[in-house]
Amino acid sequence: MTQQPKPESTIKNRNEVDVALTWNLSDLFDSEEAFLEALEALTQETKALVSTYQGKLQSAPQVIEALKGLESIIKHMDRLGHFASLHMASDRTDPLHQKWMMTFGSQQGVLMGELSFFQTELLALPETVLHEAMAQEPNYKMFLEDLLKKKPHTLSKETEKVLARMSEIEQTPYEIYEAAKLADMQFPALSVHGEAIPMTFINFEGELEYEADDAVRREAFRVFSDKLRDYQYTIGTAYAHQVRSEKILSQIRGYESVFDYLLRDQKVERTLYDRQLDVLMEDLAPHMRRYAKLIAKTHGLAPMTYADLKLDLDPEFEPSISVEESKEYILNALSVLGEDYKELLKRALDERWIDFVQNRGKSTGAFCATPVGLHPYILISWTHKMREVFVLAHELGHAGHFYFAGQHQTPLNIEVSTYAVEAPSTMNEMLMANYLMKTSDEPRFRRWVIASIIARTYYHNFVTHFLEGYYQREVYRLVDQGKPLSTEDFSRIFKETLEKFWGDAVELTEGAELTWMRQPHYYMGLYPYTYSAGLTIATQVSQRILKQGQAAVDDWRKVLAAGGTLDPIAFAQTAGVDITTDQALKDTVAYIGSLVDELERLSEAVE
């Protein structure tokens, strides 16, 4: 393993980083001129489609041909959107990137307004015509069936056009949030032990929050929280507008609640949503309190505070690793999914599909973008810690999912319900853990692996995102009741959520209540809870792979190829998991409990 480099004295600008560790966005378009030419071509393609089919859809063959044309537009629009958004994600401070994003967003709104006739005119046809189209072209069966389910909530042609045209404005709260966080928010350096330590949003969440030195870690949390507090009213106002606009749209479309509106595209009932949140609050919290107490005992922390929760159980054993060294782990752990999957991983690692660097204005966290008809792109900020290998495996799970779905499905069938979309990503984390567990039986190493599973995979997905989801539900309940919400309400609700989960095991450091300001997930509907839903499926499937081998892998590959043709229940069933009851979730929570049990035993053995 390599030695972990010391923090840079200043965060680099984008033009100062190593290009070899950045993604190659020229695969999308190699120049601004090419981007603008493609945008104009898309505009003309859309006008031609509207001219050909608007007011003229009558027969099943016409519907099929029109949908083929729509798919072409979706493919081209998707590539243009990714060119703008991925440049923006790499450096939000670049005026050129802002220009591209505004140019695309403005034109996209116009084009979506023009294309809105599709939904209203298709639904105005006799249902026999749509069923005939499904029979003649099975690839469009899922799309048309979903469309028919939306019929009770579809408005007039004119209203739908206006709402589509307003789609650009719907992104405003999110854009305000990202601008405040990534462009405006500048953190002062820490002053600890007579040393100045630089801090950014990225290196706090990727490094300083895990720092083994108590004084550095806790001071970093204080400084970070103080800066968040400076922006709480800006971000609070943006979030309040986000949830209020969602409620208004749910009312316009005739949904009984904002929950029904936000869950519609996930293709799950409210019962699955509530079950995920209620079971974890009741059953998972006791296990995680034990884990927190184990960290406190191991490190002699009294009290155990919220600022200490990301502390590694054994920081001295946390390996440092370079990007190049990570490739061996990725290929060895994930090649169980097949030679073609392994080849995809090699291409992602060698052909600059991944952006590893840290720079000013870059988006925080990690994500995978999947342009239709092209290869995926992954954003990550490499900290030279082994935990980043789990993050990279996670994002490569998304990449593999949509890459193989794209090989087997048409553009209208690729999109997967967000309830299940995190299953392939978290599955790869489980495969990484399974691989590492096989490499050594040495107690300290085994303890490190299990601690990594809990601290990275389960803490991130079953705690961090679960708490976001639980908090979200409380916010939307008040929104549904028509109650106005303030910034103080958001902080109060988040603090109450933390108190309920952690009990007396963790002292809530001042600033913990501002955690709702740290993630963009609140601008993506009911997304946060789906991380634990996906990991529930992934945990059960990874156990199947350990026990049943290739048969379980074959079932999983069917899921990856199916794309959006399976609803969440069918998705899980195809992989061999039943989510119609709470058994899979309870079994997963019990598995987490068993990992904490083993950590406690191994800690005694190591000490």
pLDDT at site 97: 95
Contact at 8 Å (CB) between 267 and 567? yes
Mean pLDDT of 26-46: 97
- Which of the 8 DSSP states describes residue 483? -
CB atoms within 10 A of CB 166: 14
The stretches of 380-504 forming alpha helices (DSSP H) are: 387-408, 418-421, 423-439, 443-452, 465-480, 487-502
Residue 472 gets the label, from left (phi > 0), alpha (psi -120 to 50) or beta, of alpha
Distance CA 429, CA 231 (A): 34
Extents of the domains making up the chain: 24-169, 265-319+386-607
pLDDT at site 2: 44
pLDDT at site 206: 85
Tell which residue, 430, 400, 426, 402, has the closest CA to residue 416.
402
Residue 334 in this model has a pLDDT that exceeds 70: yes
Topology (CATH) of 265-319+386-607: Neurolysin; domain 3 (1.10.1370)
Residue 607 in this model has a pLDDT that exceeds 80: no
Mean pLDDT of 353-371: 93
Distance CA 54, CA 456 (A): 51
Residues present in the chain in total: 607
Query: What does the pLDDT look like over 388-399, one tens digit per residue?
Result: 999 999 999 999
Query: What does the pLDDT look like over 433-485, one tens digit per residue?
Result: 999 988 888 889 899 889 989 988 899 889 999 999 999 999 999 999 999 99
Residue 3 in this model has a pLDDT that exceeds 70: no
Residues 6+ apart with CB under 8 A from 530: 266, 418, 419, 420, 421, 422, 469
pLDDT at site 9: 46
The partner residues of 305 in beta bridges, in order of sequence, read 507
Residue 330 in this model has a pLDDT that exceeds 60: yes
Q: What sign does the dihedral 266-271-274-278 (CA atoms) show?
A: negative
pLDDT at site 6: 44
**pLDDT mean across residues, the chain:** 93
When mean pLDDT is compared across 168-182, 277-291, 494-508, the lowest value belongs to 168-182
Distance CA 466, CA 472 (A): 10
- CATH, range 24-169: 1.20.140.70
pLDDT at site 5: 45
Mean pLDDT of 178-204: 91
| Cα 411 off chain centre by | 20
